[in-house]
Amino acid sequence: MRIVLTGGGTGGHIYPAVAVGKQIQEEVPETSLLYIGTERGLESRIVPAKGIPFEAIDITGFKRKLSIDNARTILRFIKGVKRSKQLLREFKPDAVVGTGGYVCGPVVYAAAKLGIPTLIHEQNVIPGLTNKFLSRYADLIAVSFEASTAHFNGSKRVIYTGNPCATQVLRAEPEKGCESLGLPAGSKIVLIVGGSRGAKAINDAMLSIVPELNRFPDIHFVFVTGETYHEQILRHIAERKLSGSGNLHIRPYLHNMAQVLAAALLIVSRSGASSIAEITALGVPSILIPSPNVTNNHQEPNARRLADAGAAEMVLERDLTGALLLDKLECIIGNEDRLKKMSNAASALGMPESARMITGELLRLCSGR
């Protein structure tokens, strides 16, 4: 088989595409993959590092306000479709899988116009602009949340599969997560991460409580800052001689996030769809801080679903302070019964077979050509 993957901008679009690709290769070992993204997005670094051939097209997203940039984006879209058709004709894929982000637009649209079977995957409860546009052309729409199906009324075929990242994360080895941090297997880890690019609000709240981390001598706090903020945070801690009594581990980025998450007692994070899928697949209790700077505020419904089920605490960014974060940490970490209940509630929401479901649907789609 030959499969084209596309999706980009953030890890929330990239990792589901990679998960589907890896699952297809596992089930059909001779499968060849090609990933089409942009040079500007994280996919230009993440995808080649995963050993998947990568090609780039030049495309940007639409602004929500009237702007001359939107006229330029239309021209880039037309050129992107032309370039995508060229790449598709050369690669001759059996199907194209899109997971959102503006780069999906020209690639999946071009595939549909060439008569190539297409599947798009929507990670969030509220679909993004690109997937809403592509729903008119895609042969199959897979969704992470059952509530998303109502947003695709009139589309050809919508199936509830969950997020493919859930399948991949279950293969992670927690011992290797501890080992990568220089910690003994079985260490109690609290993972703090603001998404693939980091989050200033979470970083600021975390920085303000670093001197208080000695309240948790048996806990190792793994603070993932994002590459943009990393040096600044290290300087801040050094200049103020802050200390976490040796239980604070600061990293710019984790390439083995799944392994560390599998070893975690608790995670403090944004509530992007891929993160939610991994958290629920592993049954990790969480404190979720939805990003307010995303399309349709889609992270808040993601987080609320877990909070309503008792699997997470949700804190809106406008309410986030170091004192509140510290209070939430103390209430959860020090209560074994609550940790267990949150873990069970998270697991009950998980869909660990997501990647296999999507792969099965994709194989059926290809066989019907």
Is 12 annotated as a binding-site member? yes
Is 286 annotated as a binding-site member? no
Contacts of 238 (CB under 8 A, 6+ apart): none
Given a contact cutoff of 8 angstroms between Cβ atoms, the answer to whether 158 and 149 are in contact is: yes
Q: Please report, for residues 143, 160, 284, 296, 358, the alpha-carbon distance to residue 150 in angstroms, rounded to integers and kept in the order given.
A: 11, 11, 29, 15, 19
Is 196 annotated as a binding-site member? yes
What is the C-alpha to C-alpha distance for residues 44 and 37, in angstroms, rounded to an integer?
A: 7
Residue 122 pairs with which residues in a beta bridge? 143
Is 124 annotated as a binding-site member? yes
Look at the block and give the residue holding tokens 């349709």: 296
**In a 10 Å sphere around its CB, with 0-12 CB exposed, 13-18 middle and 19+ buried, how is residue 78 labelled?**
exposed
Look at the block and give the residue holding tokens 């991460």: 193
Residue 282 in 3-state DSSP? helix
Given a contact cutoff of 8 angstroms between Cβ atoms, the answer to whether 7 and 103 are in contact is: yes
Amino acid (1-letter code) at residue 162 = G
Paired tokens of 215: 């309240």
Task: Indicate the annotated binding residues for UDP-N-acetyl-alpha-D-glucosamine.
Answer: 10-12, 124, 196, 299
Task: Indicate the annotated binding residues.
Answer: 10-12, 124, 196, 299
